[in-house]
Amino acid sequence: DGDASPTVSMAELDHLSQIISKSHLETCQYLKEELQQMSWQSFLQDEVESYQSKPREVMWQLCALKITEAIQYVVEFAKRIDGFMDLCQNDQIVLLKAGSLEVVFVRMCRVFDSQNNAVYFDGKFAGPDVFKALGCDDLITSVFDFAKSLSSLHLSEDELALFSAFILLSADRSWLQEKLQVEKLQQKTQLALQHVLQKNQREDGVMNKLRCKVSALRSLCSRHTEKLSAFRAIYPDIVRSHFPPLYKELFG
């Protein structure tokens, strides 16, 4: 009948939340235990300088590799989301092409140290200055600002899991063939997220704050694509021969 609003019981929402949280924890690059044991050690000044003095293309290549590794975990997460693999193959690809990097940015807040404005990268905690050689300071600043702002919400793992699934199941992506089916999945995920927020006794405004993050994520990803195009215009051979094939497939 064209109505996408699903009727879902509390028990179903609990079940959905549990499955998505489990999938999130199983597919996070860094386990909770690893995070607890992390020494949160920052790069020393000479190490920062060594990253800064790398040729631009070498730093781009390193970051493309790290992003690709993180995306592979997000693909595994997507596969374990109830209903994702029931979507047609076209839509699975559309959702991951558009949403996988957004989820990497969301997951970044798990390995972000707000006090030092540093993110876990290549074995230690790195501030924005480590990425200087990339030549896109504005994008890097925005990524760090995003991580800081999302971290300030202090989302629990189950909230992060459901928010990540909500992002991946965005029904307004272009080129979806079975939009209504994606919409139903997203609405169910949103209900589960609201249910968990309520259960965790979060204040009412959190869901609205998370909705604002959706547009921030889109802006970050489109700016990443712009920066990549600009980089590729100067170094087409580096991208062609040295960038991970999955990265090129998703962002090329």
Shortest distance, position 85 Cβ to another protein, whole Å? 8
Shortest distance, position 29 Cβ to another protein, whole Å? 14
72 scored as a contact of another protein (CB under 8 A): yes
Phi-psi sector, 126: left (phi>0), alpha (psi -120 to 50), beta = beta
- Looking from the CA of 168 toward its CB, the CA atoms found within 13 Å total 32
Shortest distance, position 53 Cβ to another protein, whole Å? 32
Residues in 73-102 that interact with another protein by CB under 8 A: 75-76, 79-80, 85, 89-90, 92-94, 96-97
Residue number, 98 or 109, with CB nearest to another protein: 98
The mark string for 218-247 relative to another protein (x by CB under 8 A, - otherwise) is: ---------------------------xx-
C-beta of residue 189 within 8 angstroms of C-beta of residue 6: no
**How many Å apart are CA 79 and CA 20, to the nearest integer?**
11
Give the CA radius of gyration of the chain: 19
48 scored as a contact of another protein (CB under 8 A): no
Residue number, 76 or 122, with CB nearest to another protein: 76
Residues in contact with another protein, counted by CB under 8 A, come to a total of 18
214 scored as a contact of another protein (CB under 8 A): no
Residues in 124-183 that interact with another protein by CB under 8 A: 175
249 scored as a contact of another protein (CB under 8 A): yes
Residue number, 102 or 113, with CB nearest to another protein: 102
Residue number, 23 or 190, with CB nearest to another protein: 23
Interface with another protein by CB under 8 A: which residues? 72, 75-76, 79-80, 85, 89-90, 92-94, 96-97, 175, 245-246, 249-250
